[in-house]
Amino acid sequence: MREDESVAKRDEAAVARYVERFAGELTDAGMQRMGARVFAALLAADSASMTSAELAESLRISPAAVSSAIGYLTQVRMVHREREPGSRRDRYRLHDELWYETYGERDKLLGRFEAILRDGAQSLGPDTPAGVRALESAEFFAFLQEEFVGVMQRWRARTPK
């Protein structure tokens, strides 16, 4: 059997529906629409990477839309650029341990939220309704951080490296 025969054939129409469905869920959860579509396309690619031209063709979007989406995904650290050897073309690749890395970054955000909310509680007056609300919010983010550490440790223990 030739190597290319051993690779399972994919129903490209079903893959396109999956990409759009997952992108829709990500968009509903607050992600930028084109970023969600590009991310879902990369997730669906066996190599977890594509060029700008491949993304534009696959998603039927403009190169400018790809560029904007990649900028967003790079900023939120879900994707990184790499140069194709011997080429001037960039490939866009999902990070290894994608969800672990992405949510690990969110942990830092929780800490920043907590700090600014604690500062805000002092500025608003800790005994005012707004100050109490800010302090309660800070406590919530502190709780999430504490719990998140355990979740990440349990995930690390559960998955092989």
Domain extent listing, the chain: 12-95, 98-158
Q: What is the pLDDT of residue 24?
A: 96
Instruction: Dihedral sign for Cα 83, 85, 89, 92, please.
Output: negative
39-63 confidence digits (pLDDT tens): 999 999 999 999 999 999 999 999 9
Residue 28 in tokens: 């509903």
Q: What is the pLDDT of residue 86?
A: 81
CATH class in words for 12-95: mainly alpha
Q: What is the pLDDT of residue 3?
A: 42
Our measurement of the distance from residue 98's CA atom to the centroid of its chain's CA atoms, rounded to an integer in Å, reads: 7
142-156 confidence digits (pLDDT tens): 999 999 888 888 988
Residue 62 in tokens: 């403009």
Q: What is the pLDDT of residue 125?
A: 93
3-state secondary structure 117-136: HHHHHHHHCCCCHHHHHHHH
Q: Which residue has the tokens 């997952």?
A: 22
Q: What is the pLDDT of residue 148?
A: 87
- Phi/psi at 152 (5° precision): -65, -40
Distance of alpha carbon 30 from alpha carbon 52, whole angstroms: 24
pTM of the full predicted structure? 0.75
Q: What is the pLDDT of residue 152?
A: 86
Q: What is the pLDDT of residue 135?
A: 96
Q: What is the pLDDT of residue 71?
A: 95
Residues of the chain with pLDDT under 70: 1-8, 161
